[in-house]
Structure 1
């Protein structure tokens, strides 16, 4: 069968994440698989590059599936987008090699997180509101601790489920937009643990606003001990890019 790669944009705020689940059909994967099955007349298994959590959105999610029933790729995209909710949009489809795997072929994944330092009436659902004085020097110091090939056992949910806690964070930075009173974090890594991005960014902002002590946090992280950081909500998190 031919292997197809999709590029997908979605507003995940009202969905229960990317991955298909037993107790709900309200997932991105479920909607796209069901639509493909209806159009292609056979069961479809869609493999996503990033299994985004509940509430998390994507600008360029990548997924692949195999089928011999696709006759016109452009028509398939049009039909898919007509069937899918307004909050899911298929941007592109192309044929790829049989061994391409959206998840395992990926080299790196990039996420951004949007924080508003003031109330936003119109865009609030896509920002996390943080009304505190922030010490950016502490955030900069902690970024150095988190960057590189490190164990993130301290900052993932359900650590007992994982055997390998090491991730290679090649980029972790932020853009402070003073005029708009926004803080945009960016993190790039070869892999992410469950809820790791929200844990890392929650830890950075907790230290920056003085809720957590820098030295205690650094020592706990280096020892793999649990850090009592607030996991930031998913509504402000976006999967921006998958690197192959």
Structure 2
């Protein structure tokens, strides 16, 4: 009998050309995960994720599903699969779910965090897992500027030129900018995202935080609906896929928000719409 399994997967994306397997011989997270799962399942496994990540982008809780007709324990899908994965990819949870579950199409929202390390001298440890800037950042100004992104907007100014989405309209459900220990963290939850959207948010907000543009510039960029007015695209190194939200009846496993070197903060109850 064919059953559906959902996984939570953590990975450091530094060594990979993104999540999605490609026809060219380049390393991807999906390719490595499918190979490892295929060994445990004794058949070729194809996986679908909640949100594809770009080259150099990480995940602390990517949601993935696949189908199998082999009976394995949930423990086997985690520990067994991990023995066949490189050290920078790990399955951290597994559960059998209903046949109508879909990692992408069942998701109510997706959530990313962008981690910035503002300090005078560059770090050596975790250098591939955060975005360093030598500039001091005004976190309050960044948070105030980010408020204009809440709600449903045309985010053309924040999508990559090559973005293939059918529409630039997205709904931002929550957007916070806060100091967590020595890090400045952008925390964004939306129904869906455009290509490079978070990194373009980060580029604008870091410019404002550094005092190079006024707070009002964020709204000006949004209203322009022109990517050329949006400033730099921030590096991928600080970006993490941290959560996808599903209806409760699917009973998808969850874990504390990552990345896990950040100080823990109590999570508010989020509404699904603004």
Same fold (TM over 0.5): yes
Unaligned stretches of 5+ residues in structure 1: none
Q: Secondary structure at the residue paired with 2:128?
A: helix
Q: What does 1:1-244 correspond to in 2, within 5 Å?
A: 1-118=2-119, 119-158=122-161, 161-177=164-180, 180-212=181-213, 214-215=215-216, 217-226=218-227, 227-244=229-246
Cα contact 1:172–1:186 (8 A) shared by 2: yes
Q: Secondary structure at the residue paired with 1:161?
A: coil
Q: Secondary structure at the residue paired with 1:150?
A: strand
| 1:176-195 superposed Cα distances (whole Å, 9 cap, x missing partner) | 24xx5421111111101111
* Change in 2 beyond 3 A, CA 1:183/1:76: closer
CA RMSD of aligned residues (A): 1.9
Cα contact 1:5–1:93 (8 A) shared by 2: yes
Unaligned stretches of 5+ residues in structure 2: 247-274
The whole-number CA distance in structure 2 between the counterparts of 1:23 and 1:126 is 26
Cα contact 2:139–2:184 (8 A) shared by 1: no
Cα offset for 1:160? Answer: 6.0
Cα contact 2:170–2:191 (8 A) shared by 1: yes
| 1:135-182 superposed Cα distances (whole Å, 9 cap, x missing partner) | 4454233212111111111111135633211111111112224xx542
The whole-number CA distance in structure 2 between the counterparts of 1:142 and 1:159 is 26
Cα contact 1:25–1:31 (8 A) shared by 2: no
Cα contact 1:115–1:130 (8 A) shared by 2: yes
Cα contact 1:32–1:84 (8 A) shared by 2: yes
Cα contact 1:108–1:188 (8 A) shared by 2: yes
The whole-number CA distance in structure 1 between the counterparts of 2:188 and 2:216 is 22
* Change in 2 beyond 3 A, CA 1:72/1:18: same
Cα contact 1:151–1:167 (8 A) shared by 2: yes
* Change in 2 beyond 3 A, CA 1:44/1:129: same
How many residue pairs get matched? 242
The whole-number CA distance in structure 2 between the counterparts of 1:148 and 1:2 is 38
The whole-number CA distance in structure 1 between the counterparts of 2:182 and 2:3 is 48
**TM-score, normalization: structure 2?**
0.82
Cα offset for 1:211? Answer: 4.0
Cα offset for 1:78? Answer: 2.1
Cα offset for 1:204? Answer: 1.0
Cα contact 1:212–1:229 (8 A) shared by 2: no
Cα offset for 1:97? Answer: 1.0
Residue number in structure 1 paired with 2:263: none
